[in-house]
Amino acid sequence: RGKRAFIAGVADDNGYGWAIAKALAAAGAEILVGTWVPALNIFENSLRRGKFDESRTLPDGSLMEISKVYPLDAVYDTLEEVPEDVKTNKRYAGSSNWTVKEVAESVKNDFGTIDILVHSLANGPEVTKPLLETSRKGYLTAISASSYSYVSLLKHFLPIMNPGGASISLTYIASERTIPGYGGGMSSAKAALESDTRVLAFEAGRAGKIRVNTISAGPLGSRAAKAIGFIEKMINYSYTNGPMQKELAADEVGATAAFLVSPLASAVTGSVVYVDNGLNTMAWHP
Ligand code: NAI
């Protein structure tokens, strides 16, 4: 039987989630995605109208099939805790069952089990603000959307993950070295995500023989990254100063993700794996 993957955080064909979906599809996995509720309509319409057909093309010439797109807002765990103004918001009212618990239940009802869980989402409303100017609310929202969202997803999907399965998330080196401009508590959120990767690897390993790793990816001009404001500079900096002097393709992160969730990586868990053309290893840039 082929493996089944749920990838949270796909809303266009530019980001790491899409590239990971393609790499897993190319390796034979069935693909389910979770798409942020406010982005759902545009994503589904674009898919239907064939806007992604070129970028859906796999190495063998076939098109990646997405078995089902689930609306998801990973900031909410259960329907009970969704505030009234969100429930009645025009962009949310048209969809249902999009809290983490409900999505996991829907996937269980539709497919029974999964083998692979991917978290490729982040949000920090004050990302352009320095930490010293970040509000408590902005900081906690960054942590909620970018870190706890992973704890919650793994908690709710673990019971339907087949033993031997694996989970990954995406992190950024601003967690451990200062990157001025990656603000709003996003650096804090990535630090939490990396620490949680180690603790969750232990807990999910013991509870369900599930491996948990995170990929520390280099800069990519995704939709989310453009919101930070200086992504082109980061990409140029990385190109100029890294050991490889080459551009980072999202597909390279996809390939590492496919490795990490495969039996080839059966002894790798609790790790932060760098896919950044080696930039993290440099201390001085000649
Ligand atoms: P992206 O824009 O393709 O992905 C972010 C996704 O998160 C979007 O689809 C967005 O709709 C979704 N999202 C935001 N809030 C959500 C919520 N509450 N519930 C559900 N979905 C929500 O951008 P990208 O850059 O590919 O991001 C994926 C991951 O990669 C993120 O964790 C990001 O921090 C990480 N990363 C990105 C780097 C970059 O330079 N682009 C570098 C290192 C890590």
Q: In the structure encoding, which two tokens stand for residue 189, read together?
A: 């959120």
Show Cβ contacts of residue 30 under 8 Å, excluding neighbours closer than 6 positions.
Answer: 2, 3, 4, 5, 67, 111
* Rounded Cα–Cα distance for residues 102 and 85 (Å): 19
pLDDT digits (tens, 9 = 90+) for 69-97: 999 999 999 999 999 999 999 999 999 99
Question: How many A from CA of 286 to the centre of ligand 1?
Answer: 32
Percent of the chain at pLDDT > 90 equals 98
Instruction: Evaluate: CB of 124 within 6 angstroms of ligand 1.
Output: no
Closest among 116, 18, 9, 113 to 70, alpha carbons compared: 9
- 20, 45 contact by CB (below 8 A): no
**Can 172 be counted among the known catalytic residues?**
yes
In the reported structure, the alpha carbon of residue 270 is separated from the centroid of ligand 1 by a whole-number distance in angstroms of: 21
Q: With 0.95 as the threshold, say if the pTM is over it.
A: yes
Q: What angle do CA 203, 70, 162 make, to 5 degrees?
A: 35
Using one digit for the tens of pLDDT, what is the confidence trace for 89-126? 999 999 999 999 999 999 999 999 999 999 999 999 99
Residue nearest to atom 34 of ligand 1 (CA): 122
* Residue where the block lists tokens 């390939």: 255
Choosing from 148, 150, 172, 239, the catalytic residue is 172
Question: What's the pLDDT band for 183 if we cut at 50, 70, 90?
Answer: very high
Beta carbons of 126 and 77 less than 8 angstroms apart: no
**DSSP 8-state assignment for residue 281:** G
For this complex, say whether ipTM is above 0.95.
yes
Distance CA 98, CA 92 (A): 9
Report how many helices (DSSP H) and strands (DSSP E) the chain contains, helices first. 11, 7
Q: Answer yes or no: is the C-beta of 72 below 6 A from any ligand 1 atom.
A: yes
List, for residues 32-53, the tens digit of each pLDDT value. 999 999 999 999 999 999 999 9
Closest CA to 172 of 46, 274, 253, 22: 274
CB distance 118 to ligand 1 below 6 Å: no
| 3-state SS, one letter per residue, for 95-140 | CCCCCHHHHHHHHHHHHCCEEEEEECCCCCCCCCCCHHHCCHHHHH
Which structure tokens are listed for 218? 């280099």
- The one-letter code for the residue type at 167 is S
Sheet of strand 114-119, all strands in order from the earlier edge strand to the far edge: 66-72, 30-36, 4-8, 114-119, 161-171, 211-217, 272-275
182 catalytically annotated: yes
Question: At residue 234, does pLDDT exceed 90?
Answer: yes
Please indicate whether residue 121, judged by its CB atom, sits closer than 6 Å to ligand 1: yes
